[in-house]
Chain A
Amino acid sequence: MEKVLQINNLSKNYGNIRAIEDVSFEVKKGEVYGLLGPNGSGKTTTLAVIMGILNANGGSYEWFEQPFSKLSRRRIGALIETPNFYPYLTLWENLKIVAKIKDADEKDINNALGIANLLKRKHTNFGHLSLGMKQRMSLASVLIGNPEVLVLDEPTNGLDPEGFAEVRNIILSQADAGKTIIIASHILDEVEKVCSHVAILKSGDLIANGRVGELLSAEETVYIQTQKPEDLIKSLKESDLAKEVYSSDDDVAVVLNTDLNSGDLNKFCFEKGFTLTKIQVRKQSLEDQFLQLVK
């Protein structure tokens, strides 16, 4: 599949502060790629660097298997951080500026406003919009010129559940239309529902990446309770049964090695003399995975 974005060992510092270091991943055509991480993990910096707003201190990146250029930028619609438009201009005038910059047809404006459900508001000043409408306006501007790739930085930031759902539906409809989408977000639910792939950043380091499905299904966790949890954790760590063992509230959470199941764990506990009062298999949610990774 055609590579849309290739990032190799990208690093960026703000003075002595390390924003990102040695971040590498690739995005292929048609993927919905999530950049997930807590605040300050380097998501926005990564997007700002790959959009040419910031210069990298190290590493490289390529769009469409070529160095980033004005031509490749035309093929990308991007929203970085907050929606930035002229508050005294109407939506139509703001999008006219975007269309002129992108050398796009003015017909695209109505089309984009229609997709964002803002056609009726096209003569309203941007400054008079609610936050949800501003976010949808950002999406409309990103869609001008029918770009192949959408780069969205926290597109649902500050939205209520209804606005969240509206923006998510717009993103999903664009993904269904075959566009490649890169989304930075700290909202796990958003990434889980929208993305096909995810890269998790922590303090500027890429700590995991892959298919959302793989990240979830590979990490089935068994939650058990016993009277001596510390001893059980110790025994499990010494065994080759568990990939990972950690304490989770009153439970002992065990991520089993491949090809093992809860029955094997139960047998192991029985043989070691632990009486289990609870055994529950839970497919680890992205949140569990995320929290575990960023701990």
Chain B
Amino acid sequence: MKKLFNLEKIKALSYPPFKTLMIIHFLLFFLVILVVSRIHFSIPGFSVKGLYQFPNIWEFFPWVASWFNIFLTIVLITLVGNEFSFKTFRQNVIDGLDRNDLIKGKLILIFTIAVYTFIMVLIAVLIFGLIFGISLLF
């Protein structure tokens, strides 16, 4: 598993479109939540500020993050597609990987990206939730 993870790490981290799309995903997510946090809008029963407070923030941030999942999808499709267009899947099998290992490797990649976005959203939720929660106290 560690070997497959390391292989996918080398393949992905050195791939310029991977870095670009992941940075775009990260920036767009934080840009949206920062911009929305500056909006002072409220109607009876709803306030934008309320979205940044616990427990609403647990639903709001993952919802915003889901808008940009398209970038992650493109990254994954490109990385898997590359293996076929560069015929490197075939080369990996020649070099000694099982066909199952290749599929496992890509599943590990998908899982890793999922974990990364989960952690990114979790950290954002904790930071913004705490900031907006504390600011309400004062």
- Interface residue ranges, A against B (CB under 8 Å): 51-53, 70, 73-74, 78-82, 84-90, 93, 96-98, 100-103, 141
Contacts and interface: CB of A to CB of B under 8 A. Distances in A.
A88 B14 contact: yes
Nearest to A89: B14
Interface residues of B, number: 21
A88 B16 contact: yes
A101 B95 contact: yes
Given A86-B88, A88-B15, 4 more contacts: A70-B96, A74-B96, A97-B7, A103-B3
Report, nearest first, the 10 A-B pairs whose CB atoms are least far apart: A84-B91, A84-B87, A101-B95, A78-B94, A101-B96, A73-B96, A89-B14, A98-B95, A101-B97, A102-B96
Contacts of A51: 94
A51 B97 CA distance: 12
A81 B16 CA distance: 27
B10 A97 contact: yes
A256 to B, nearest CB: 45
Interface in B1-60: 3, 6-7, 10-11, 14-16
Contacts of B97: 101
Contacts, number: 60
30 contacts: A53-B93, A53-B94, A70-B96, A74-B96, A78-B94, A79-B94, A81-B87, A82-B87, A84-B86, A84-B90, A85-B88, A85-B91, A86-B11, A86-B82, A86-B86, A88-B14, A89-B10, A89-B11, A89-B14, A97-B10, A97-B92, A98-B95, A100-B6, A101-B3, A101-B92, A101-B95, A101-B96, A101-B97, A102-B95, A102-B96
Interface of B is mostly: helix
B14 A100 contact: no
A52 B93 contact: yes
B96 to A, nearest CB: 5
Contacts of B94: 51, 53, 78-80
B86 A100 contact: no
Contacts of B7: 97, 100-101
A216 B97 CA distance: 40
Nearest to A82: B87
B138 to A, nearest CB: 51
A79 B94 CA distance: 8
B14 A93 contact: yes
B86 A87 contact: yes
Contacts of B16: 88
A14 to B, nearest CB: 16
Contacts of A85: 86, 88, 91
Contacts of A103: 3
Contacts of B11: 86, 89, 97
B93 A70 contact: no
Contacts of B88: 84-86
Contacts of B95: 78, 98, 101-102, 141
Nearest to B8: A97
Contacts of A78: 94-95
Contacts of A101: 3, 7, 92, 95-97
